[in-house]
Every structure is written in C-alpha cells, then in structure tokens.
Amino acid sequence: MDVLAGAYLWIVAAHVIFVIFWMAGLFMLPRYLVYHQEALVAGRDDDAARWVEREGKLRSIILTPALILVWLLGLTLATVGQHWGEGWLHAKLAFVLLLSGYHGWAVGYAKRLARGEMRLDGRRLRLINEVPALAGAVIVVLAFVKPF
C-alpha cells in the first residue's frame, strides 16, 4: 500500500485522463445514435451500416476500456486515500453508477439500432444526450468541493 500511496498523484492523473476519455465517448455515442437513427428513418441503409461500424469502434477502442480503467483507478484512489467513510465519495459513486448505467443503455440502444429497432424519437434521443454533462458536473463538484 505504501507504493500506491507514493504514486497517489500519478493515479489521480491517470484517473482524470481516463475520465476525460470516457466522458468524450459518452458525449459522442448518443450523437452517433441520433445520426444512425436518422439514416434508418431516411432509408439510407449504407449510411446506417457505417454508423454501426463507427459505434462499435467507439465502444471497443474508447468507451469500454476507459470505463474499466476509471473504475479500477477510482476504487484504488478511494482505498489508498482512505475515503470510504466520506459522504461525498458515496454520492460520487452513486453518480458514477448512474453514468455506468447510461453507458450500458447507450450500448444497448446502439445494438437495437443495428437490428433496425427504434424505440425513441430523435428529440428524446437528443435530450438523453445531456445526461453525461449533468452527471459529470455533479461528480466534479463532489470530487473537488467535497460538500459533505
């Protein structure tokens, strides 16, 4: 544990870097879904197929690896920094769980679109795109201000 304590700031830096990657992917994937769904509605099958490919690459190259590293590094920081008893961390973890669920929902919706299933209209899909921004803002306040 002493080795990790000595590397605490490096772990923080890595955690923040992968949070940025994950958030970028969470902003991109729902926008991809909007474009994908619009291609399906317009009957542009070739364009829709390209969106399936783009979504898959985004998931496998950025989103999923970043999600895994965010969780591993975050849990390491909570343990090394002995933050488990702090209320702000519990609230932050609740919002990170929300974002992880959102990640899972977006991946699932991409897979449904790949099968041609559209459950949301374009307006709702665009509104859902705001979830990561709102949750991210709350997480940043909790992590840096530590209000409780």
Over the stretch 106-121, which tens digit does the pLDDT of each residue have?
999 999 999 999 999 9
Secondary structure percentages of the chain, helix, strand, coil, to 5: 85, 0, 15
- Predicted confidence at residue 24, as pLDDT, reads 97
Q: Which residues of 21-52 are buried (b: 16+ CB within 10 A; e: fewer)?
A: bbbebbebbbebbbbbbebbeeeeeeebeebb
What's the pTM? 0.93
- Over residues 66-81, the mean pLDDT reads 97
Measured in whole angstroms, the distance separating CA 124 from the mean position of its chain's CA atoms is 19
How does pLDDT run across 38-69, given as a tens digit for each residue? Answer: 999 999 999 999 999 999 999 999 999 999 99
Going from N- to C-terminal start, the domains of the chain cover 2-145
Q: Is 92 annotated as a binding residue?
A: yes
Rounded Cα gap, residues 61 and 112, in angstroms = 20
- Predicted confidence at residue 2, as pLDDT, reads 80
How does pLDDT run across 119-144, given as a tens digit for each residue? Answer: 999 999 999 999 999 999 999 999 99
Q: Is 103 annotated as a binding residue?
A: no
How does pLDDT run across 19-29, given as a tens digit for each residue? Answer: 999 999 999 99
Rg (Cα) of the chain, in Å, rounded?
A: 18
State the chain's mean pLDDT as an integer.
96
- Predicted confidence at residue 53, as pLDDT, reads 98
